[in-house]
C-alpha cells in the first residue's frame, strides 16, 4: 500500500489523462477518486471473493442508476410484504388495489419482484409503472410473471445493494404483514429516518381492519423500546398504521402536499416547499418547534436565490431555512406534517 501512496499524484494524473481520452465525464474528480480507490482495494491482495464483492457491487449500483435514471422526477413508493401471501388472501387483494390506485395518482411502484405481496403490486400496477428489485436466492424468490420480462426488473446478488436501491429510489414505504425480511426492511427504513441518513418519508404499515399484526407490533415497540427509553416518544411519529388502501395513499400524498424535499447543509437545513407559508404559520412554527433549533436560531422563509448552496435544485420553490439540531428527526416529521396541513 505504501508504494502506491508514494506515487499517488503520478497515478492520479495518469487516471485523469486516461479518462479524458475516452469520454467527457461530468464528475471527473469523483471518477478519479473511484478508480484510485479500486487500485488501493486491489493492492490489499484479498481473496477471489473480495474481488468479486467489489466487482458485483459496482455492477449492481451501475444497473440501478441506469434503470432508475430516467424516472428521477417521478414519486415512487416501495412496498414490502410476505412472498408467501396467496392471491386469495385479503392482504394480496389490498396490495393489488394499493398499486392500482397509486399508479392512478401518478406514483410509480417498487417491489422486491417476487411472489405474494410483491406479485400483487406488480400485477395491480399500470403498464410500465412498476419496478422489481429481485434478490437471487436458492429458494422461494424468483421474479413474478408480472415483472419478469420488464426492463424495470433488476436482479441482485447482494441484499445491501438492493436495500440501498429501495431507499434511494423511493419517496415512501408501505409495509404489509410479512416475515423477517419485511421487518428487516421496516426497521431499516425507521433507523435511516430516525438518524437522518435518508430524507423524511411516510412509512405506512397496512393490514385489514380485523388484523392484529401491526397493533401487536406497536405494543411491542411501546413496551420494550419506548418504556425502556431506548427510543424517544417522537420516534413513534416516524410511522403510521392504517387499515385501508385509501388511508395509506392519503398518508403518502398528504406528506408531500406542501413539503417537497429537504437538504441538510453544515450550518442549517433547507426544506423546499410547494408554496409559501403565511407569516402566521411561520410564527407558529417558531413557537411550537423551537426545540429543533440550535444557536438561538429561527425558522425563516427565503427564496432559492438567498441560498447559493441550494439554488441550483428546484430554484422555483420557496425555502424554509433553520439551524436544525440533527437529532430529533421524529419531531422533524411532526413539523413536516404541520406544514402539510396549511
Classify residue 237 as exposed, middle or buried by CB count within 10 Å of its CB (0-12, 13-18, 19+): middle
- My answer on whether 135 and 235 are in the same domain is yes
Contacts of 222 (CB under 8 A, 6+ apart): 236
C-alpha 77/C-alpha 55 separation (Å) is: 29
pLDDT in the model for residue 36: 82
Residue 179 has pLDDT above 90, yes or no: yes
Expressed as residue numbers, the domain containing 276 is: 259-340
- My answer on whether 85 and 169 are in the same domain is yes
C-alpha 15/C-alpha 9 separation (Å) is: 10
pLDDT in the model for residue 2: 59
- In the chain, what percentage of residues exceed pLDDT 70? 99
For residue range 145-176, list pLDDT tens digits in order: 999 999 999 999 999 999 999 999 999 999 99
- My answer on whether 151 and 224 are in the same domain is yes
- My answer on whether 181 and 141 are in the same domain is yes
Which of 4-8, 34-38, 115-119 comes out lowest in average pLDDT?
4-8
For residue range 94-107, list pLDDT tens digits in order: 999 999 999 999 99
C-alpha 330/C-alpha 324 separation (Å) is: 13
Average pLDDT of the chain is 94
- My answer on whether 223 and 185 are in the same domain is yes
**Residue 175 to residues 104, 194, 233, 340, Cα–Cα distance (Å):** 20, 17, 21, 23
For residue range 10-30, list pLDDT tens digits in order: 888 888 888 888 878 778 788
Report the run of H or E that residue 62 belongs to, with start and end.
helix 48-68
**If pLDDT is split at 50, 70 and 90, which confidence band does 140 have?**
low
- My answer on whether 228 and 292 are in the same domain is no
pLDDT in the model for residue 301: 97
Q: How many domains are contained in the chain?
A: 3
Diameter of the chain measured on Cα atoms? 67
The domain boundary residue, chosen from 255, 290, 322: 255
Q: Calculate ∠ Cα 274-279-283, nearest 5°.
A: 110
- My answer on whether 120 and 214 are in the same domain is yes
**If pLDDT is split at 50, 70 and 90, which confidence band does 309 have?**
very high
Contacts of 303 (CB under 8 A, 6+ apart): 318, 319
C-alpha 65/C-alpha 53 separation (Å) is: 18
- My answer on whether 291 and 145 are in the same domain is no
- My answer on whether 155 and 215 are in the same domain is yes
C-alpha 298/C-alpha 269 separation (Å) is: 11
pLDDT in the model for residue 39: 78
pTM of the predicted structure, to 2 decimals: 0.93
pLDDT in the model for residue 8: 82
pLDDT in the model for residue 338: 97
Strands (E) located in 167-223: 172-175, 203-206
Beta bridge partners, 270, equal: 263, 321
C-alpha 249/C-alpha 244 separation (Å) is: 9
Residue 308 has pLDDT above 80, yes or no: yes
- My answer on whether 76 and 64 are in the same domain is no
Question: Which has the higher per-residue pLDDT, 8 or 165?
Answer: 165
Mean pLDDT of 280-301: 96
Mean pLDDT of 172-200: 97
Mean pLDDT of 286-303: 96
C-alpha 256/C-alpha 313 separation (Å) is: 17
Q: What are phi and psi of 100, to 5 degrees?
A: -60, -45
Question: Which has the higher per-residue pLDDT, 245 or 138?
Answer: 245
- My answer on whether 205 and 89 are in the same domain is yes
The domain boundary residue, chosen from 255, 270, 292: 255
Contact 304, 311 (CB under 8 A): yes
Residue 268 has pLDDT above 70, yes or no: yes
Contact 115, 83 (CB under 8 A): yes
Residue 190 has pLDDT above 90, yes or no: yes
**If pLDDT is split at 50, 70 and 90, which confidence band does 141 have?**
low
Question: Which has the higher per-residue pLDDT, 240 or 47?
Answer: 240
The domain that holds 149 is classified in CATH as 3.40.50.450
pLDDT in the model for residue 113: 96
Amino acid at each position: 500500500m505504501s508504494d502506491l501512496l508514494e506515487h499517488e499524484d503520478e497515478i492520479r494524473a495518469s487516471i485523469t489523462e486516461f479518462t479524458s481520452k475516452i469520454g467527457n465525464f461530468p464528475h471527473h474528480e469523483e471518477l478519479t477518486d473511484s478508480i484510485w480507490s479500486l487500485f488501493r482495494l486491489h493492492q490489499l491482495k484479498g481473496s477471489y471473493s473480495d474481488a468479486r464483492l467489489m466487482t458485483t457491487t459496482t455492477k449492481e449500483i451501475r444497473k440501478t442508476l441506469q434503470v432508475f435514471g430516467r424516472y428521477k422526477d417521478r414519486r415512487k413508493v416501495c412496498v414490502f410484504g410476505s412472498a408467501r401471501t396467496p392471491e386469495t388472501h385479503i392482504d394480496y387483494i389490498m396490495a393489488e388495489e394499493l398499486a392500482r390506485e397509486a399508479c392512478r395518482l401518478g406514483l410509480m411502484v417498487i417491489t422486491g419482484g417476487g411472489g405474494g405481496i410483491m406479485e400483487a403490486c406488480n400485477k395491480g400496477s399500470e403498464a410500465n409503472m412498476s419496478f422489481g428489485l429481485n434478490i437471487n436466492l436458492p429458494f422461494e424468490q424468483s421474479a413474478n410473471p408480472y415483472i419478469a420480462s420488464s426492463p424495470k426488473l433488476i436482479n441482485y446478488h447482494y441484499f445491501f445493494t438492493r436495500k440501498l436501491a429501495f431507499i434511494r429510489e423511493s419517496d415512501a414505504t408501505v409495509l404489509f404483514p410479512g416475515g423477517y425480511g419485511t421487518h428487516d426492511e421496516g426497521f431499516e427504513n425507521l433507523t435511516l429516518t430516525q438518524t437522518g441518513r435518508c430524507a423524511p418519508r411516510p412509512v405506512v404499515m397496512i393490514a385489514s381492519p380485523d388484523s392484529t399484526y401491526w397493533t401487536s407490533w406497536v405494543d411491542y415497540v411501546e413496551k420494550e423500546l419506548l418504556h425502556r427509553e431506548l427510543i424517544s416518544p417522537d420516534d413513534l411519529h416516524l410511522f403510521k398504521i392504517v387499515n385501508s388502501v385509501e388511508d395509506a395513499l392519503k398518508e403518502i400524498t398528504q406528506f408531500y402536499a406542501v413539503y417537497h424535499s429537504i437538504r441538510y447543509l453544515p450550518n442549517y437545513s433547507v426544506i423546499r416547499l410547494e408554496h409559501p407559508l403565511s407569516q402566521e404559520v411561520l410564527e407558529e412554527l417558531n413557537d411550537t418547534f423551537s426545540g429543533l433549533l440550535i444557536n438561538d436560531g429561527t425558522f425563516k422563509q427565503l427564496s432559492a436565490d438567498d441560498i447559493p448552496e441550494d439554488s441550483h435544485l428546484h430554484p422555483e420553490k420557496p425555502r424554509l431555512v433553520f439551524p436544525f439540531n440533527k437529532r430529533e428527526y421524529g419531531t422533524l416529521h411532526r413539523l413536516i406534517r404541520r406544514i402539510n396541513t396549511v
